[in-house]
Amino acid sequence: MKQILHKLRERERERERDKNKDMEGIEHRMVSVNGISMHIAEKGQGPTVLFIHGFPELWYSWRHQINALSSLGYHAVAPDLRGYGDTDAPTSITSYSCLHIVGDLVALMDTLGEEKVYVVAQDWGAIIAWYLCLFRPERVKAFVSLSVPFRPRHPKMKPVDSMRTLFGDDYYICRFQKPGEIEAEIAQIGTVNVLKNVLTNRQPGPPCIPKGKAFQTSTDSSVTLPTWLLEEDLNYYATKFGHKGFTGPLNYYRALDLNWELTGPWTGTQVRVPVKFIVGDLDMMYTTPGVKEYVHNGGFKKDVPFLEEIVVMEAVGHFINQERAEEVSNHIYDFINKF
């Protein structure tokens, strides 16, 4: 028993040393962009790699890639998007349109003095990055998209109506639409429990949330964290979301139909930047009906003609940049280093 306890303590010490090493040298500052104050984390010197996080995450989701790419001669920059972490959170849903978020990122590039950057993004960050590549391709050297492929605009059907038709009223994006409703369920179950269940969920898509069961969770505190997510990591997320709340991040979903209206002029437009797409075979986005067919049967390549690589990782879920941090960092480096 003593030997087992000793090994467990030593393992915890090793994990704590690794965590401290991950945070070493990462600098934080606030910058003024597009009418808001934005928090960024950065490290390294060289060409800039802009990392864009998803939901429900923060700059912190890229901690491993920040260290890896900065050690290889790049300037790694990861902001908290508007509504998240230490960045301002406007109250209006209309302040979370794709034009606002892309405007924040373009202004950030200008603040950094960068005409063009490499972009790496996951989940909602990837959605925003696709918009960035669509609106301002001249500002992007190359794009590594994790988890979410390009989604061409349907000319006749708004996205929320389409999702409701395909997946029903309990589909998570449909459940997010009414302001305050899902926030009340989150408050009831608790920030830590919600984050724990979302970040560790490996159920195949499409994800649905029956009323009263936010994020398919329970208050069962016995959910075991995977090896890639430490208690310290969960506590960091919980502290930030506990302070800021979820309304800002949820407003991204509530602005989906507004985005559809605003992007009418880009209907049918191709994304013309070099792209590498990486996804886990257990990712709920990848296992949603129709996505695999789009990715592999020519539709993706037609909409994104400079799509150069598609990587499907085995036995990996949605939060791929944290679950397979070293492997993802290597994939990113191998691709952007070509440019």
Q: Which residues are catalytic?
A: 123, 253, 318
119 φ, ψ (degrees, to nearest 5): -125, 135
What separation in angstroms does the CA of 19 have from each of 67, 69, 316?
A: 11, 17, 22
279 φ, ψ (degrees, to nearest 5): -150, 155
Handedness of CA 307, 309, 310, 316 (dihedral sign): negative
Q: How far apart are CA 20 and CA 258, in angstroms?
A: 42
Q: How far apart are CA 153 and CA 262, in angstroms?
A: 11
**Residue ranges with strand state E in the chain:** 27-33, 36-43, 48-52, 75-79, 117-122, 140-146, 275-280, 307-313
- Do 82 and 95 contact (CB within 8 A), yes or no? yes
The residue to which tokens 């960035």 are assigned: 132
The residue to which tokens 């952007």 are assigned: 336
Nearest to 327, CA basis, from 307, 309, 306, 312? 312
- Token duo for residue 58: 């923060």
Q: How far apart are CA 234 and CA 238, in angstroms?
A: 6
